[in-house]
């Protein structure tokens, strides 16, 4: 076995993962569980009942102060003033040229008080970006990454499961509120990354093992990053570093819906010009027609590249996302992918690739 | 999934492959460690009957949900049988890596190549 470097960070649930037989792997500087019982089994648990993920590697940036709205509206692509108190919103952080620095969820805790959840690999850069732009505003920017553990409880049974442990009603989708769950105070958010209903819990790291235990005892299956990836890809949620990068703008990534250029966010002019002219390439979802699994980096014949690819446990086929020329980015179009020397045909499908049965 | 085991009657290659040698033929597969590391296999692209495999060289790929991995030939020879059942049920490799989960049978080109392979104890020790 390759020894794991000493410098990897561990979440407060590390011992729970070890005890549950997780395979732990390095991920964005953290030692994280990639699977417990098996990716397929964990994936299906989330689609059919409920699963709990340790996502404590994710970062948090708190912003508060009289000019917080003005600062966030410079940094975030979406219309921040539209987030109600106790609301949540998805957006991207862009550079001046429109390249995407990160995709984030922002929660409005109070009128002039926000919490933004960052990707682990981007957290330090995001924090520096927030701080460098905050100098002109009367706003406190506080790194809260070390102050929160984060658990995602996802699946059709997730809400009832958390509710049975909570002291009151849970927030609706895209909302958040302070609650006590399993006797411990936390921020409960109606968000997730699986395409299922569910909640994300932000809480004191020291309290997190007890909450994890209560969720597992109530029937939530521990789920690792492996199934987190297959779940998000079935519903075509972007993964930063694969489907999003500094070299790609939000319009070509299909994220124009979370960009409000009229607000004047950093990069809005570049985004507006791409939106007006139309992007040269677009991110599409595809399903492999026969056997085989495309992987990130595989070339699309005639131009284009696979950015995410895996085996879909629900569709039982290879699925993925790829950038292809805008002309070809239409549902029903056949593409051919060079999968390590074997050409495999795939069909571009409407997103999401997986839909819940009615 | 089966428990970790490394049967005494097999020879092992350091790339986590096993060979069951019977006369001038051998059956190949991957070890318990290999299937455990990969996770549940979901795709098995069988190689062609009659093609040649070379010791220490990849002769096919297997895929789990998360990753693709080369499978190395522990010995050289010509493929005389492939386990076609794995195309339909690749997870058999996880359930029974040394039995129903075999990959190919090979007519050996040079039976003396077996001298460089590991016995079960040496292979198991290499995993420590």
**A126 and A93 Cβ atoms separated by less than 8 Å:** yes
pLDDT band at B66 (very low <50, low <70, confident <90, very high): confident
Total number of domains constituting chain B: 1
Looking at residue A357, what is its pLDDT? Answer: 76
User: Is the same domain home to A65 and A106?
Assistant: yes
Nearest alpha carbon to residue B15 among B89, B54, B73: B73
The residue whose two tokens read 């014949």 is A301
Beta-strand ranges (E) seen in B15-95 are 17-22, 25-30, 41-44, 52-53, 58-64, 68-72, 77-82
Residue % of chain A over a pLDDT of 70:
98
Looking at residue A305, what is its pLDDT? Answer: 98
User: Is the same domain home to A34 and A88?
Assistant: no
What is the chain A residue with the closest CA to B94? A38
Residue % of chain B over a pLDDT of 70:
98
User: Is the same domain home to A31 and A42?
Assistant: yes
Looking at residue A298, what is its pLDDT? Answer: 98
Give dist(CA A249, CA A258) in Å, integer: 12
Whether residue B65 and residue A311 make contact (CB cut-off 8 A), yes or no, is yes
- Indicate which CATH number applies to the domain containing A324: 2.40.30.110
Total number of domains constituting chain A: 3
ipTM comes to 0.79
- Give yes or no for residue A61 having a pLDDT over 90: yes
Residue A56 has phi, psi (to 5 degrees) of -70, -10
A254-279 pLDDT, tens digit each? 999 999 999 999 999 999 999 999 99
Residues 7-46 of chain B with CB under 8 A from chain A are: 39-40, 42-43, 45
B78-87 pLDDT, tens digit each? 999 999 999 8
Looking at residue A304, what is its pLDDT? Answer: 97
- Give yes or no for residue A356 having a pLDDT over 90: no
Q: How far is CA B91 from the centre of its chain?
A: 14
Does the residue A249 lie in any domain?
no
Beta-strand ranges (E) seen in A28-120 are 30-35, 51-54, 59-64, 88-94, 100-110, 113-118
A21-35 mean pLDDT: 94
**Helical packing angle, A68-75 and A123-134, nearest 10°:** 130
Which of B1, B40, B68 is facing A295, going by the closest CB pair?
A: B68
Looking at residue A243, what is its pLDDT? Answer: 98
**Cα of B38 to nearest chain A Cα, Å:** 10
Give dist(CA A230, CA A320) in Å, integer: 10
Which of A39, A295, A342 is facing B39, going by the closest CB pair?
A: A39
User: Is the same domain home to A154 and A229?
Assistant: yes
Does the residue A275 lie in any domain?
no
Query: Which of A146, A173, A196 is the last residue before a domain boundary?
Result: A146
Does the residue B3 lie in any domain?
no
Does the residue A243 lie in any domain?
no
Looking at residue B15, what is its pLDDT? Answer: 95
Looking at residue B128, what is its pLDDT? Answer: 85
A136-194 pLDDT, tens digit each? 999 999 999 999 999 999 999 999 999 999 999 999 999 999 999 999 999 999 999 99
User: Is the same domain home to A138 and A155?
Assistant: no
Largest CA distance in chain B: 38
Instruction: Identify the helix (H) or strand (E) that includes residue A17.
Output: helix A14-19
Query: Which of A176, A205, A233 is the last residue before a domain boundary?
Result: A233
Does the residue A286 lie in any domain?
yes
Looking at residue B76, what is its pLDDT? Answer: 98
B2-15 pLDDT, tens digit each? 689 999 999 999 99
Whether residue A230 and residue B65 make contact (CB cut-off 8 A), yes or no, is yes
Beta-strand ranges (E) seen in A119-204 are 140-143, 149-154, 176-181, 184-189, 198-203
User: Is the same domain home to A222 and A154?
Assistant: yes
**Cα of A39 to nearest chain B Cα, Å:** 7
pLDDT band at A333 (very low <50, low <70, confident <90, very high): very high
Looking at residue A6, what is its pLDDT? Answer: 59
Query: Which of A93, A122, A146 is the last residue before a domain boundary?
Result: A146
User: Is the same domain home to A198 and A135?
Assistant: no
Does the residue A247 lie in any domain?
no
Does the residue B110 lie in any domain?
yes
Which of B39, B63, B127 is facing A38, going by the closest CB pair?
A: B39
User: Is the same domain home to A326 and A215?
Assistant: no
Taking the Cβ of residue B50 and every Cβ of chain A, the question of whether any pair is shorter than 8 Å is answered with no
Question: What is the edge-to-edge ordering of all strands in the sheet holding B77-82?
Answer: B11-13, B17-22, B25-30, B104-108, B77-82, B52-53
Looking at residue B46, what is its pLDDT? Answer: 87
User: Is the same domain home to A133 and A177?
Assistant: no
User: Is the same domain home to A47 and A99?
Assistant: no
Contacts of A313 in chain B (CB under 8 A): 65
User: Is the same domain home to A310 and A165?
Assistant: no
User: Is the same domain home to A35 and A156?
Assistant: yes
Does the residue A254 lie in any domain?
no
- Indicate which CATH number applies to the domain containing A156: 3.30.1360.120
CB pairs under 8 A between A and B: 44
Give dist(CA A304, CA A281) in Å, integer: 8
Question: What is the edge-to-edge ordering of all strands in the sheet holding B41-44?
Answer: B41-44, B58-64, B68-72
A207-252 pLDDT, tens digit each? 999 999 999 999 999 999 999 999 999 999 999 999 999 999 999 9
Give dist(CA B18, CA A121) in Å, integer: 39
Taking the Cβ of residue B63 and every Cβ of chain A, the question of whether any pair is shorter than 8 Å is answered with yes
Looking at residue B67, what is its pLDDT? Answer: 85
Looking at residue A7, what is its pLDDT? Answer: 87
Whether residue A39 and residue B43 make contact (CB cut-off 8 A), yes or no, is no
Give dist(CA B30, CA B103) in Å, integer: 8
pLDDT band at B45 (very low <50, low <70, confident <90, very high): confident
Does the residue B48 lie in any domain?
yes
Does the residue A265 lie in any domain?
no
- Give chain B's length: 128
Residue B46 has phi, psi (to 5 degrees) of -65, 140
Domain that holds residue A336: 280-353
DSSP state letter for A83? S
Give dist(CA A132, CA A213) in Å, integer: 40
Q: Residue A25: CB partners within 8 Å, gap ≥ 6?
A: A31, A32, A34, A225
Which of B43, B87, B127 is facing A293, going by the closest CB pair?
A: B43
Domain that holds residue B36: 11-126
- Give yes or no for residue B102 having a pLDDT over 80: yes
Nearest alpha carbon to residue A165 among A109, A212, A204: A212
- Give yes or no for residue A358 having a pLDDT over 70: no
Whether residue A229 and residue B66 make contact (CB cut-off 8 A), yes or no, is yes
- Indicate the SS3 state at residue A121: helix
Contacts of A34 in chain B (CB under 8 A): 66
- Give yes or no for residue B58 having a pLDDT over 60: yes
A94-141 pLDDT, tens digit each? 999 999 999 999 999 999 999 999 999 999 999 999 999 999 999 999
Looking at residue A1, what is its pLDDT? Answer: 46
pLDDT band at A339 (very low <50, low <70, confident <90, very high): very high
Mean pLDDT, all residues of chain A: 96
- Indicate which CATH number applies to the domain containing B15: 2.40.50.100
Contacts of A230 in chain B (CB under 8 A): 65
Residue % of chain B over a pLDDT of 90:
84
Beta-strand ranges (E) seen in A16-58 are 23-27, 30-35, 51-54
**A76 and A221 Cβ atoms separated by less than 8 Å:** no
């Amino acid at each position: 076995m390759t020894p794991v470097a000493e410098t990897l960070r561990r979440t407060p649930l590390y011992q729970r993962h070890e005890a549950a037989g997780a395979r732990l792997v390095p991920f964005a500087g953290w030692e994280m569980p990639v699977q417990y019982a098996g990716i397929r089994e964990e994936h299906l648990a989330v689609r059919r009942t409920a699963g709990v993920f340790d996502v404590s590697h994710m970062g948090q940036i708190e912003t508060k102060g009289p000019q917080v709205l003005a600062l966030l509206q410079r940094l975030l692509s979406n219309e921040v003033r539209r987030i109600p108190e106790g609301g949540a919103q998805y957006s991207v952080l862009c550079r001046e040229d429109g390249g995407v620095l990160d995709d984030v969820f922002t929660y409005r805790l109070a009128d002039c008080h926000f919490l933004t959840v960052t990707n682990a690999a981007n957290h330090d850069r995001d924090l520096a970006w927030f701080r460098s732009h905050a100098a002109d505003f009367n706003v406190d920017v506080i790194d809260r990454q070390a102050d929160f553990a984060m658990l995602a409880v996802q699946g059709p049974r997730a809400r009832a499961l958390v509710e049975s442990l909570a002291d009151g009603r849970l927030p609706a989708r895209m909302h958040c509120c302070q609650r006590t769950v399993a006797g411990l105070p936390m921020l409960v958010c109606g968000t997730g990354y699986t395409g299922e209903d569910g909640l994300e819990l932000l809480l004191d790291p020291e309290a997190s093992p007890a909450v994890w235990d209560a969720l597992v005892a109530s029937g939530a299956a521990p789920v690792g990053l492996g199934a987190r990836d297959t779940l998000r890809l079935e519903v075509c949620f972007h993964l930063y570093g694969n489907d999003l990068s500094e070299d790609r703008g939000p319009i070509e990534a299909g994220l124009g819906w979370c960009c409000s250029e009229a607000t004047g966010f950093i990069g809005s002019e570049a985004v507006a010009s791409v939106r007006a002219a139309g992007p040269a390439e677009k991110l599409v979802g595809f399903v492999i027609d026969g056997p085989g699994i495309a992987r990130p980096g595989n070339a699309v014949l005639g131009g284009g590249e696979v950015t995410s690819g895996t085996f879909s446990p629900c569709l039982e086929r290879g699925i993925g996302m790829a950038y292809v020329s805008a002309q070809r980015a239409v549902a029903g179009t056949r593409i051919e992918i060079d999968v390590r020397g074997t050409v495999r045909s795939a069909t571009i499908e409407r997103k999401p690739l997986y839909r819940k049965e009615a | 999934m089966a428990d970790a085991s490394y049967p005494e009657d097999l020879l092992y290659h350091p790339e986590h492959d096993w060979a069951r040698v019977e006369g001038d033929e051998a059956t190949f597969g991957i070890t318990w460690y290999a299937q455990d590391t990969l996770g549940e296999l979901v795709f098995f692209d069988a190689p062609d009957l009659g093609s040649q495999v070379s010791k220490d060289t990849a002769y096919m790929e297997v895929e789990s949900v998360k990753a693709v991995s080369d499978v190395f030939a522990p010995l050289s020879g010509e493929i005389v049988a492939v386990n076609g059942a794995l195309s339909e049920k690749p997870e058999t490799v996880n359930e029974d890596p040394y039995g129903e989960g075999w990959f190919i049978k090979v007519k050996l080109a040079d039976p003396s190549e077996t001298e460089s392979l590991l016995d079960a104890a040496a292979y198991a020790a290499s995993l420590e």
